[in-house]
Structure 1
Amino acid sequence: MQTDTARGLSLISVPFLYAVLLLAGPLLTILVFSFWSQDYLTVDRTPTLENYRAALGEPIYRTLLLRSLGIAGAVTLITVVLAFPVAYYVSFRVHPSKKPLWLFLITIPFWTSYLLRIFLWKVMLGYNGVINSALEGLGLIDEPLRFILYNANAVVITLSHAFAPFAILPIFVALERIDRSLLEAARDLGENAITTFLRVTLPLAAPGVVAALLIVFIPTVGDYITPAQVGGPGGKMIANFIYELFFSLNDRPMGSALAVVAMAAVTVVALAVLWLGRRLGGAR
């Protein structure tokens, strides 16, 4: 037993140290920095909570954080709502021999660079872009739409497309694990298609839905590239301002405090999603 334990510890020691050095180390550094203060190039290492008071009290910081949470929530909701029917169709309607092909097609967006996809959406949503040109050509609008680029709407549209495969795949896996005999039993007991879905399919698929919600929500809150390219002033998110604090305004402690506050907010939302998922899964 001791030999097996030693062998197991030796196997996990390298990845554990790797995780500590490259994950926990930077997080700990950010946490320590958040309690310091900086005046241009001079860092005062005297512990202080002033950065957190500013992060929670200044209107600009609250606005950016709430905007980031709102955009991430909208992206998550839109992505999961649109991903569920796709995953359901592939799981329940597509022949088993053709499912690998469908999954292959779903993952095609991963073949191209994330930055390239953002640029493509920037071209499509532009004032003279593909969407506006098509709508004008069809006579549906008289002048180009201005609300689909350089604002929060553009960020939501771009991120919803970028994270769609991340939502489809976990939902599909959860649906594939459902015992089809349970659905047949529900129909035999008098349930119709809607009540069978609500009382059997959806609760059993809850782990996949929760996984999709978290996989989409967590990275979108801290996304930097998309708001920088298509967001404009009205679509700027918390990650963009943290970047400016670190590299433009030279205030790393304040940027670290904002990063910690953002991580704390994401943690609270993630725990709430897990709790709701557990309630939904236990409702069957």
Structure 2
Amino acid sequence: MQMGDRLRRFFRSDAGAGAMLVSPTALYALLLLAVPLAAIVIISFWTQTGIRDFDTTFTLANYKEALSEPLYRQLMLRSLMVSGLVTLITVVLAFPVAYFVSFAVQPSRKSLWIFIITIPFWTSYLIRVFLWKVILGFNGVLNSGLQAIGIIDEPLTFILYNVNAVIITLAHAYAPFAILPIFVALEKIDRSLLEASRDLGESRVMTFLRVTLPLAMPGVVAAILIVFIPTIGDYVTPRLVGGPGGLMIANMIQTQFLRLNNAPLGATLAVLAMLIVAVIAVILMLLARRAAGGGRRR
């Protein structure tokens, strides 16, 4: 009876009502996120014995192979390099756009600019990748245009079916994802802080470095994570525009699952990629928190 009374009092309280409200969402997330993730981790310790048969004996052989095989290390390093460059290029180019919309555009027209920024979402991601193939191709728009104005005599061959094409395509595809969180962070900045900095004798550049940038760091970190995490797991873009020299770790994971019939090794590569991304994400958040704290102390 006491346990029943406690449960009734709990569900009648604000905490109980809140728990009831979030329970369906939590259960949904548990079934669609946590359970598949746990399954991937468990499978990574198994051994494939047939098309659909597994030896469920616990083994670390997959992790030893994944960490010792030079090909997997090369693909992982290439994936980190590509994702890092894409993130750097995207965030560096996105910040001025977000800054312009936040500080230079009239409030009544900001929604129009946000609308324009989100226009790429109207088309399929796959269509945008194919459009970049048309632009960067041997006889594509870029090569034809450069030849027409006399800048080059023969088509450029280093802009398609390699890492460069992957970086260009991903940077364009994820640009809106970087602009929007930075814009939101800039919009939250109290403009009176900037005026106070100027009144105290700081220049526009120092005001930006000491006030605006530290306060915008949460948006910058969000943009970095939003771009970095999905790009390291992208396999469509490297497959379509990367060629053999532009393939990433996600392509190897797909190959292990669908072509080589080695789901445990594919799961192992996926787990290692997730762990690396998680470590990098934690480091970035700690650095951003320290930078924001340093900006507030100044």
Give TM-score, length-normalised by structure 1: 0.98
**Which letter maps to 1:178?**
I
Aligned-pair identity in percent equals 65
1:83 counterpart letter in structure 2: A
One-letter code aligned to 2:161: Y
Summarize deviations over 1:21-59 as a string: whole Å, max 9, x none: 111111011000000111343421111001111111110
Match of 1:35 among 21, 42, 45: 45
1:280 aligns with 2:258: no
> Which residue matches 2:220?
209
1:153-192 residue pairs with structure 2 within 5 A? 153-192=164-203
Q: CA deviation at 1:208?
A: 0.4
3-state DSSP of counterpart to 2:275: helix
Aligned pair partner of 1:243 in 254, 257, 261: 254
Whether the 8 Å CA contact 1:40–1:251 is kept in 2: the answer is no
- Give 1:10 shift: 2.2
Match of 1:69 in 2: 80
The corresponding residue for 1:24 is 34
Contact 1:75 1:156 in 2 (8 A): yes
1:92 maps to 103
Q: Superposition pairs for residues 119-268 of structure 1, below 5 Å? A: 119-268=130-279
Q: Could you tell me which of 21, 25, 30 is aligned with 1:15?
A: 25
For structure 2, the 5+ residue unaligned runs are: 1-8
Letter in 1 for 2:45: F
Which residue identity lines up with residue 179 of structure 2 in the other structure?
A: I
1:115 aligns with 2:126: yes
Give me the whole-angstrom Cα distance separating, in 1, the residues matched to 2:156 and 2:280: 34
What's the TM-score, normalizing by structure 2?
0.93
Runs of 4+ in 1 over 4 A off after TM superposition: none
Structure 1 segments unaligned to the other structure (5+ residues): none
Alpha-carbon shift at residue 9 of structure 1 (Å):
2.4
Q: Whose radius of gyration is greater, 1 or 2?
A: 2
**C-alpha RMSD of matched pairs (Å):** 1.0
How far has the Cα of 1:8 moved from its partner?
2.4
Post-superposition shift, 1:193? 1.2
Q: Post-superposition shift, 1:134?
A: 0.4
Deviations for 1:45-74, whole angstroms, at most 9, x for unmatched residues?
111001111111110010011100110000
Partner amino acid, structure 2, of 1:215: I
Bigger RCO of structures 1 and 2 (CA < 8 A, at least 6 apart): 1
The code of the aligned residue for 2:159 comes to I
